A and B are shown apart, each in its own frame.
Chain A
Amino acid sequence: MLHLVLFLIFGAICVAGAVNLLVQRHPINSALSLIVVMGSLAVEYLLLGAEFVAAVQVIIYAGAIMVLFVFVIMLLNAGKEELTSGSRIALLLGIPGMLVSSVLVAWVLLAHSGTGAVPVGALPGPPKIIGWLLFHDFLLPFEVTSVLILIAIMGAVVLASPPESVQQSKKEG
């Protein structure tokens, strides 16, 4: 019962953050509400017994990735977004589309919920077992991931560095 109450509270916070992300017009407000969503999702993971995933969610998502987002927003001095004709069409089509798809998904899942319930703590996901899985069953994907990260770092550096003409003019001037 306690778990259901906790699930409902943090699920409500989660959905409120997601809706706030859509409503806010300033990117920094959207970024902060996305951090709220990720934090409450970490609690949902803890309720499911996934300790490792919850910790990684807070460290990588709410920590590293969102710091990157906030940093870029401040670097580019992003202001309020302007409305164009395309955005009005998107508003007209997008919001009904979201409502229809959410209601449809919820109805299908609740109507055919012969799926049983998730007992809390039935499947603990301690870092030890996850680490064992990562270095035995998933060793190849894990190693490929490190190559992916390396390529991403190099790509980010190449893309974000100023073009050569700017660098040369700085050297000369």
Chain B
Amino acid sequence: MVPLSYYLVLSGILFACGVTGFLIRRNIITIFMSIELMLNGVNLSFVAFAAHWHALSGQVFVFFVMVVAAAEAAVGLAIIIAVYRTRETLNVDRVNLLKL
């Protein structure tokens, strides 16, 4: 028996790590990975609540979150490739002009 709050604390810590990575990192790929970390934290709380309330729809929602994350990763990484092609940098501080 693992208390539900332990799972929620773990998911909260993961989400906080993701937010921090989003704020402190300057590499656009690492920022993107921090977003994935936040999604994973939310997924854990979804599954924990699904087990707690005996509702399997929580697990179906995790499936949908994963699908959206996959679509987001595909489009986001394509955007990163396009940005790198025009700017020759991955540092978000150097990508500060709308037009070259």
Contact = CB atoms under 8 A, between A and B. Distances in A.
Interface of A: 3-4, 7, 11, 14-15, 18-19, 21-22, 27, 30-31, 34, 37-38, 41, 44-45, 47-50, 52-53, 56-57, 60-61, 64-65, 68-69, 72-73, 75-76, 78, 81-84, 86-87, 90-91, 93-95, 97-98, 101-102, 105-106, 109-110, 113, 115-120, 122-123, 125, 129-130, 133-134, 137-138, 141, 145, 148-149, 151-153, 155-160, 162-163
A31 B87 CA distance: 23
B69 A86 contact: no
A61 B47 contact: no
A47 B47 CA distance: 10
Interface residues of B, number: 68
Given A44-B44, A95-B20, A118-B1, A141 B59 contact: no
Given A50-B50, A83-B26, A109-B12, A130 B63 contact: yes
Contacts of B13: 15, 18, 102, 105-106
Given A44-B44, A65-B73, A118-B3, A105 B12 contact: yes
A98 B24 CA distance: 11
Nearest 9 CB-CB pairs, A to B? A152-B71, A105-B12, A159-B78, A98-B20, A113-B5, A18-B17, A81-B27, A160-B78, A94-B23
B21 A133 contact: no
A118 B52 contact: yes
Judged by DSSP, the binding face of A is helix
